[in-house]
Structure 1
Amino acid sequence: MRPGPRNLITDVDGFLVGNAQDDTLKSGATVFTADSPFTASVHVMGGAPGTRETDLLAPDKSVAQIDALVLSGGSAFGLDACSGVVDALRAVGRGFRLGPAIIPLVPGAIIFDLLNGGDKDWQENPYRALGRAAFEAAGEDFDIGTAGAGTGALTAMVKGGLGSASFVLESGITVGALVAANPMGAVTTPGDRHFWAAPFEVDGEFGGLGPDPRGGLGQAETSRKMQTMRGQAEGLPLSNERGNTTIAIVATDAALTKAQCQRVATAAHDGIGRATLPAHAPGDGDLVFAATSGARAMTNPEAELGQIGHAAALCLSRAIARAVYEAKPASGDLLPCWNTA
């Protein structure tokens, strides 16, 4: 396996990604879409997900294809980013047609970034406009780090962000991942220099420091994030069981069924577990969408499906580390960036 030319999920031909963010708000939205409807499914392993229309993606549900996927900040408010994408799709005549009605299908998921130091005193929910702007910005190239849905993301110890990575398999199949990394857990080992995902790094894509050489790691659960969020809560009770989540999309050009997409999404969760400690906690809404363009037929579906799931997990681990590595400092930040920690 080797990374694709961009080392982004858009190395999977046919898919586009757009970002929109408000730096004062310290939040934003990211849209994953294509020029035509595509097959997708989802698997949730976190205990506190925030989602829209994910039930449609179960293999036994009647919807065969969707028009876009949305990752957004803003907690429950951020689900309205999907509405902005629906508006934009309808405006160009895209969606499921039922007689004269056009119904764009846009599942989405959110992270909690309401206590990250940004100005949240809005009078009108900003996420509908952010979602539409992200859709209208969609292209093959996009920013990672402090961008889109990752603008206000925080990990346990350092700033989070938006990440992406890709692999081209020996068969020619391409696999990619896109993630908004805002976990309860840490993406770095104690000391904040080495990434848990270091064994999977390719060509120094997140610093090239290699794995932490120490043993006995992973036992402490120190969190600067929770300390700073308690400060933002101004003395009100705040449990460490809320305010987190890693949400991701993995994609491939292999021709998968909806059920096979769900299996890839399930396998890809290993990427979160390998890059974040702890992961899939009761207060995380950890979720992975899996999508396919269907452009490339498989010659040995059973064997290749396993390879695709494995590659998706590796890409997701790398994308999480890249999200943190590429994060940039901004005014009012509560946590340092990896490159300043």
Structure 2
Amino acid sequence: MQNLITDVEGIAVGNARDLALGSGTTAILFDEPTIAAVDVRGGAPGTRETDLLGLERTVERVDAIVLSGGSAFGLEAAGGVMAFLAQHGRGFRVGDACVPIVPGAILFDLLNGGDKAWGLHSPYRDLGLEAAGRAGPAFLLGTEGAGTGATTASLKGGLGSASARIGPFTVGALVAVNALGSVTIGDGPHFWSAPYERDAEYGGLGLPHPWPADALALRYKGVRPENTTIAVVATDARLSKAQARHFAVMAQDGLSRAIHPVHTPLDGDTVFAAATGKVGIADPVADLIGLGTTAAHVLARACARGIYEASSLPYAPALPAWRERFGHLQSA
């Protein structure tokens, strides 16, 4: 176990970033066409091919999922991933045609100080192609991939991942945290998701004591659409499309355990679910309850890891990273 979403058998992840641009893309590739679903809770999502994931739609399986910076421009990253997959003969076959199925979601990082003067053609298709080509079992967190340009209310955002086992199943999460709100309590170093931490994976500080009087005070970026947290949760359980949808619904609770406030009118808060189907389920109800509960815990941990592993962008006005402000406080 690497404590990454790639601990789920059949998944590879690749990142591409451009620090001068202040943005990047993450590609999640599946070894085989995989059951997928999606749940969207925020008021300002940016998505691609999510209608296809509806329970009443014909196509049930996808070849990849893309998370990207770049706001609506970043939706082009999926085109690069499609090109990579098409080269390898992957896709939904209709006669002699083969169309890779690649849903995606984006976050807004256009005002973070990077050079966005790219001219007629945005760089995101190329970033998607690069990310797909780098996909494998190991990948970096923090200021990487879709988390490159991400921010929160007070700290640098980032790309996070985590995993866990429940019975015979593995559950993993991957998230780009670009929230309107905050992942830390008050003005201190403690993470909202502290109760779910394992092995000091994000500093080992636990919850603050005494509890700050202003802990629940609203801290957010301001009333501008510069946000959206986007994620994928995955399992090796053999789920139907409807079960995968409920898996995504339950996993959304992980965002509410890690970010305050969350699911606002200016967040996108989109969670994809994928089930690679390597392990059969014995009890459709009890197993799904366990999987969804674990997914919420794992996603909460992934959010904190994304912030904990991040580094500041190399230009003003960059937000400080957690380790720059609080790294000296983490447990030994």
Distance, in Å, in 1 between the alignment partners of 2:73 and 2:56 is: 29
> Quick check: 1:74 aligned with 2:70?
yes
What are the superposed Cα offsets for residues 219-266 of structure 1, whole Å, 9 maximum, x if unpaired? 32234x44xxxxxxxxxxxxx141101100000000000000000100
Partner of 2:24: 28
What are the superposed Cα offsets for residues 272-311 of structure 1, whole Å, 9 maximum, x if unpaired? 0010000000000001000011000011121010000000
Partner of 1:219: 216
Cα shift at 1:330: 3.1
Partner of 2:250: 267
Partners of 1:150 and 1:161 within 8 A in 2: yes
2:14 to 15, 18, 40: 18
* 1:254-293 correspondence runs (5 A): 254-293=237-276
| Aligned amino acid, residue 135 of structure 1 | A
Distance, in Å, in 2 between the alignment partners of 1:36 and 1:222 is: 42
Partner of 1:233: none
Distance, in Å, in 1 between the alignment partners of 2:311 and 2:240 is: 38
Partners of 2:22 and 2:313 within 8 A in 1: no
Distance, in Å, in 2 between the alignment partners of 1:247 and 1:163 is: 11
> Quick check: 1:135 aligned with 2:132?
yes
Distance, in Å, in 2 between the alignment partners of 1:331 and 1:149 is: 17
Give the TM-score, by structure 1 length.
0.92
Compute the RMSD of aligned alpha carbons: 1.1
Partners of 1:324 and 1:337 within 8 A in 2: yes
What are the superposed Cα offsets for residues 115-142 of structure 1, whole Å, 9 maximum, x if unpaired? 0111101112100000011011000000
Distance, in Å, in 1 between the alignment partners of 2:245 and 2:63 is: 17
Partners of 1:157 and 1:192 within 8 A in 2: no
| Aligned amino acid, residue 143 of structure 1 | L
Cα shift at 1:52: 0.3
What SS class does the counterpart of residue 63 from structure 1 fall into? coil
Distance, in Å, in 1 between the alignment partners of 2:241 and 2:208 is: 39
Distance, in Å, in 1 between the alignment partners of 2:102 and 2:152 is: 27
| Aligned amino acid, residue 184 of structure 1 | L
Partner of 1:301: 284
Partner of 2:115: 119
Partner of 2:143: 146
> Quick check: 1:174 aligned with 2:170?
yes
Distance, in Å, in 2 between the alignment partners of 1:319 and 1:300 is: 27
What SS class does the counterpart of residue 252 from structure 2 fall into? helix
More deviation, 253-262/323-332: 323-332
| Aligned amino acid, residue 238 of structure 2 | A
Partner of 2:324: 340
Distance, in Å, in 1 between the alignment partners of 2:99 and 2:145 is: 25
What SS class does the counterpart of residue 28 from structure 1 fall into? strand
Distance, in Å, in 2 between the alignment partners of 1:320 and 1:326 is: 10
More deviation, 75-84/321-330: 321-330
What SS class does the counterpart of residue 93 from structure 1 fall into? coil
Partner of 1:199: 195
Give the TM-score, by structure 2 length.
0.95
- Percent identical among aligned pairs is 54
Q: Which runs of 5+ in 1 are unaligned?
A: 227-239
Cα shift at 1:328: 1.3
* 1:221-260 correspondence runs (5 A): 221-223=218-220, 225-226=221-222, 240-260=223-243
Cα shift at 1:35: 1.8
Number of residues paired by the alignment?
A: 322
Distance, in Å, in 1 between the alignment partners of 2:200 and 2:302 is: 13
What are the superposed Cα offsets for residues 42-78 of structure 1, whole Å, 9 maximum, x if unpaired? 0000000000000111111110211100000000000
Distance 1:24 1:53, change over 3 A: same
> Quick check: 1:45 aligned with 2:45?
no
Q: Which runs of 5+ in 2 are unaligned?
A: 326-332
